[in-house]
Structure 1
Amino acid sequence: MEKESCLEVSWVKTLQWLNKTTDESFGYRQWFYQTCTEFGFYQTCEDSSCPFSRMMTLQSQTQLCSLLFNIPQYTLSANIDFTNQYYGGDQPQTHRVLYVNGDIDPWMPLSVVRNGTGEDKQRAVLIQGSAHCADMNSLRPSDRTSLKQGRVSAWLKSAALEYRD
């Protein structure tokens, strides 16, 4: 069993860490920037059923935009609206794009979950009993049948064969 250090939960230390542009915080800073400028995918925990800290409010998350990137909070809605209009929201006009979701993924409501029409009609895959990015993990004997059937790699192989024909 590996020993891990305690998780730092100080707001000030979190801001310091997110302000670093080194490999140490790689991905997180970029994710917050993209959230502030395009997505609005804020993780909060404000209702009584949430098992985590109630300090993760929408206000605390959107405040990061101004503190980290000097992006005013009043611009966030317009940023998100532009992205949804430009890319089509949950009904994008895409070609050969697969949207994979697990039905217990907290990000699922923000994704494309309905199949389209025409050429790209089979673009949404919903994997029962699966969570965020589980379909991209290595195969394990303990994987649910639904996960095995919904793996992206299988779809990509079939799409590659179809494309060659």
Structure 2
Amino acid sequence: MPYGQLNHPFLLVLELSNTTATSSYRPWFYQTCTEFGFYQTCEDTSCPFSRMLTVQSQTELCSRLFDIPQDRLSACFSDQGNIDPWMELSVVWNDTTVDNDRVILIDGTAHCMDMNADKSMDKPALHQARKVKI
């Protein structure tokens, strides 16, 4: 089922309960639960989709489907390139005093550039970002 059709909570649970190899959304949601936290919510009154898709409902699904506890986040790392089209939707500064939170804005890079192996032609900021200890 295409993701765009998963705007009803029942359909979302039905698709995420599919453990066959044909389910492409379940692995993505697992990765969201365990790594990314990119929960797609619709809580605003102007949202055209179900307002039942909240952060709370998404984390409850993580717990129910994958037995992942709903613990509070204890440390967060975010890196982003400043010419990435996703930058407007990303964390680009640390507005907390929590030492475990790290944010790196990589000058002159775009989406996922830091995930590639070092190349001699990479910008110095990208080389430095890859060396940061998380």
- Percent identity between matched residues is 42
* Residue type at the aligned position of 2:63: S
**Cα separation, partners in 2 of 1:108 and 1:13, compared to 1, 3 Å:** closer
Q: In the alignment, is the contact (CA less than 8 A) between 2:42 and 2:54 conserved in 1? A: yes
2:121 and 2:52 mapped to 1: Cα distance?
49
- The gaps in structure 2 that reach 5 residues or longer are 93-102, 123-134
Residue 78 (structure 2) aligned to one of 80, 83, 90: 90
RMSD: 3.9
1:105-120 aligned at under 5 Å gives the runs 105=86, 108-110=89-91, 114-115=105-106
Q: What TM-score does the superposition give when structure 2 sets the normalisation length?
A: 0.55
- The gaps in structure 1 that reach 5 residues or longer are 1-6, 93-97, 116-121, 126-132, 134-151
Report whether the alignment pairs 1:162 with 2:128.
no
Partner of 1:69: 66
2:43 and 2:8 mapped to 1: Cα distance?
19
1:71 and 1:161 mapped to 2: Cα distance?
41
Partner of 1:34: 31
Report whether the alignment pairs 1:48 with 2:45.
yes
* Residue type at the aligned position of 2:14: Q
Whichever structure has more helix as a proportion of its residues is 1
1:8 and 1:35 mapped to 2: Cα distance?
16
Partner of 1:128: none
1:13 and 1:51 mapped to 2: Cα distance?
16
Residue 18 (structure 1) aligned to one of 7, 16, 32: 16
CA-to-aligned-CA distance 1:47-101 (integer Å, 9 cap, x gap): 123333222111211111112111122x2x23xx34x2xxxx2358xxxxx6762
**Cα separation, partners in 2 of 1:90 and 1:70, compared to 1, 3 Å:** closer
* Number of equivalenced pairs: 107
